[in-house]
Amino acid sequence: MNHCIGDGTAYWNFFNTFSEIFQNDDRVSSPISHQPINTKWFPEASTETKVGELLENDLGWVAWKIHIAITNHDDKVVRNWVEEWLHSPFVYKSDLFFDPYTVMMGSSPRFNMYGNEFGMGKALGVRSGYANKFDGKITSYPGQEGGGSIDLEGQLDKGGVCNFAIIAIRVYVEVCG
């Protein structure tokens, strides 16, 4: 399913509903544990920085930049984006918009990726599929172990960000030992 058919919340509610059906005991009739549709999907918030700024600041600064982008992404911003899009509509292929050394984070902690049970036991790992993938796309999920852990999935094609990542690892090893 993609965003043309339904938003992320609708997708996970669909998935969770089937999970509840598989977990259901024939002797018990329980209601669905959450609403079928909660929110809509809209363009994500974003922020930019220079490599020098990343090197000069710590991860707390990066988290603060992301926090500011998310908290400033309100109803007014979304309505302006929709209004602009209505005047000049387009459908884009995401990998055409980024230079070869772009890294993009994606996903949402709102979706319980490991909460679905289809009678085969708890999932050991998750993957996001092939949609919206390009060199440098990193997808994060709440970790399978819980307790604030994070699972990451990365798309590193040969060349581009993959070469950059290898260089960054070499520099880290040489500088930090």
Domain boundary (91, 120, 154) is at 91
97 and 156 share a domain? yes
Q: Are residues 141 and 69 located together in one domain of the fold? A: no
Helix (H/G/I), strand (E/B), else coil: 106: strand
Query: 99 and 81: one domain?
Result: no
146, pLDDT greater than 60: yes
Query: How far apart, in Å, are the Cα atoms of 5 and each of 1, 41, 168?
Result: 6, 11, 39
Do both 176 and 115 map to the same domain?
yes
**Residue 6 is assigned to a structural domain of this protein:** no
121's CB contacts (< 8 A; 6+ apart) are none
CA distance 22 to 106: 29
Q: Can you tell me the distance from the alpha carbon of 124 to that of 143, in angstroms, rounded to the nearest whole number?
A: 10
Tokens of 149: 């852990």
Number of neighbouring beta carbons within 10 Å of residue 12: 21
Q: What is the pLDDT of residues 15-51, one digit of tens each?
A: 677 666 666 555 544 444 544 444 444 456 778 888 8
Tell whether 137 is covered by a domain. Answer: yes
Is residue 156 within 8 Å of 136, Cβ to Cβ?
yes
Q: Is residue 15 part of a domain?
A: no
Residue 134 lies in a domain: yes
Domain residues for the domain of 123 are 92-177
Q: Is 102 inside a domain boundary?
A: yes
Which of 79-88, 98-107, 168-177 is the least confident region? 168-177
Regarding whether 177 and 150 lie in a shared domain, the answer is yes
Judge if 86 and 96 occupy the same domain: no
> Is residue 75 in some structural domain?
yes
Overall domain count for the chain: 2
Confidence class of residue 95 from pLDDT cuts 50, 70 and 90?
Answer: low
Residue 27 lies in a domain: no
User: Is residue 50 domain-shared with residue 84, that is, in the same domain?
Assistant: yes
Given a contact cutoff of 8 angstroms between Cβ atoms, the answer to whether 45 and 72 are in contact is yes
> What are the tens digits of pLDDT across the range 105-145?
777 666 777 777 777 777 888 777 777 777 777 788 888 88
Residue 85, in any domain of the structure: yes
Q: Please check whether residues 71 and 130 belong to one and the same domain.
A: no
Going by pLDDT thresholds of 50, 70 and 90, the confidence category of residue 104 is confident
Question: How far apart are the C-alpha atoms of 164 and 51, rounded to whole Å?
Answer: 12
